[in-house]
């Protein structure tokens, strides 16, 4: 597969791939630390990829890189931006179409949610509505003015991935979208293409994404690539036990700095939450690297309350 302009020859690596839509919060930073630790303790490279196909904020990418550096992380250049690789994604989509592995889908999200689904299929799984439309039916639907999305014509209902924390995980695979109806390559397509191109053979990310791993690993296999080994790590939740977000107050390095909490302080608190430092013990990333043992990682989320920084 053509890895595209500006990419070095791939070598085994881990990665952190944020969306540059704003500042990273403590949950993002903790996942980045874990991705870095998993990569560095296994002799892998570590790369940063900006997944900027969706909404972005001006300057957010540079702020994110600055925050990652502030907590001690380093990475192998260059930083890759997905918006510079759209021709590569389109080439892969075209190849799949030419091989008869795609179909056009005119369904809305509401129609998919309200459609009868197959027994035991997870909620929201695509029910196959447009999979076998005739040419005449496609012409009729196009005449409504609604542009179609492109879905992968999957030939399996499930796929199993290897996860370092969850073991073998078998999850659902449906006819998932690989190109949205506005022409933008879908996340599940772009991430697979980029991981293969960058030599990413280890993916560390939040465990809220575990359910998407079987789809992505299946597509990687279909494209002739070996799926990465995964490590879906526990997330950071707020006091309501809901996934942490920037709405939860002082959770970015900028906000915390206004309260006198330094980047070093934040790193030490994250290390404590991972069992890699005692409460209140100052540690740097080198010390954390020496102590890191994947098998000893906590499996429960970190509940972050406002008094964490007191």
Binding residue numbers for L-glutamate? 15-19, 51, 187, 205
User: Of 187, 274, 207, 197, nearest to 228 (Cα)?
Assistant: 197
Which one-letter DSSP state was computed for residue 163?
Answer: E
User: Of 100, 113, 110, 172, nearest to 146 (Cα)?
Assistant: 110
How far, in Å, CA of 57 to CA of 224, rounded?
35
How far, in Å, CA of 213 to CA of 251, rounded?
28
Binding site feature residues for ATP: 246
Mapped onto helix, strand or coil, the DSSP state of residue 142 is helix
How far, in Å, CA of 63 to CA of 67, rounded?
6
Binding site feature residues for Zn(2+): 105, 107, 126, 130
Q: Contact, 101 vs 131, CB < 8 A?
A: no
Q: Contact, 304 vs 251, CB < 8 A?
A: yes
How far, in Å, CA of 154 to CA of 184, rounded?
20
Binding site feature residues: 15-19, 51, 105, 107, 126, 130, 187, 205, 246
Which one-letter DSSP state was computed for residue 249?
Answer: S
């Amino acid at each position: 597969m053509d890895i595209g302009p500006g990419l070095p020859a791939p070598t085994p690596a881990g990665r952190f791939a944020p969306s540059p839509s704003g500042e990273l919060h403590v949950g993002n930073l903790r996942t980045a630390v874990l991705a870095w630790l998993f990569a560095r303790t296994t002799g892998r490279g570590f790369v940063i990829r900006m997944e900027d196909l969706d909404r972005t904020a001006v300057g957010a990418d540079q702020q994110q890189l600055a925050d990652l550096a502030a907590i001690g992380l380093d990475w192998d250049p260059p930083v890759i931006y997905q918006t510079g690789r759209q021709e590569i994604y389109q080439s892969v989509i075209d190849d799949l179409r030419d091989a008869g592995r795609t179909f056009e889908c005119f369904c809305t999200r509401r129609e998919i949610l309200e459609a009868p689904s197959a027994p035991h299929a997870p909620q929201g799984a695509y029910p196959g509505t447009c999979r076998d439309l005739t040419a005449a039916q496609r012409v009729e639907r196009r005449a409504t003015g609604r542009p179609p999305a492109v879905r992968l014509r999957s030939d399996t209902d499930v796929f199993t991935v290897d996860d370092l924390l969850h073991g073998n995980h078998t999850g659902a695979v449906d006819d998932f979208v690989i190109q949205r109806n506005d022409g933008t390559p879908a996340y599940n397509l772009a991430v697979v293409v980029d991981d293969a191109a960058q030599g990413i053979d280890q993916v560390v990310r939040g465990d809220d994404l575990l359910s998407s791993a079987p789809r992505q690993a299946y597509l990687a296999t279909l494209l002739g690539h070996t799926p990465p080994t995964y490590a879906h790590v526990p997330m950071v939740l707020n006091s309501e036990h809901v996934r942490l977000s920037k709405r939860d107050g002082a959770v970015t390095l900028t906000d915390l700095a206004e309260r006198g909490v330094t980047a070093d302080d934040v790193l030490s608190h994250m290390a404590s939450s991972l069992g890699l430092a005692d409460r209140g013990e100052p540690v740097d990333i080198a010390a954390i690297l020496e102590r890191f043992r994947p098998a000893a990682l906590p499996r429960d989320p970190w509940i972050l309350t406002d008094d964490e920084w007191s």
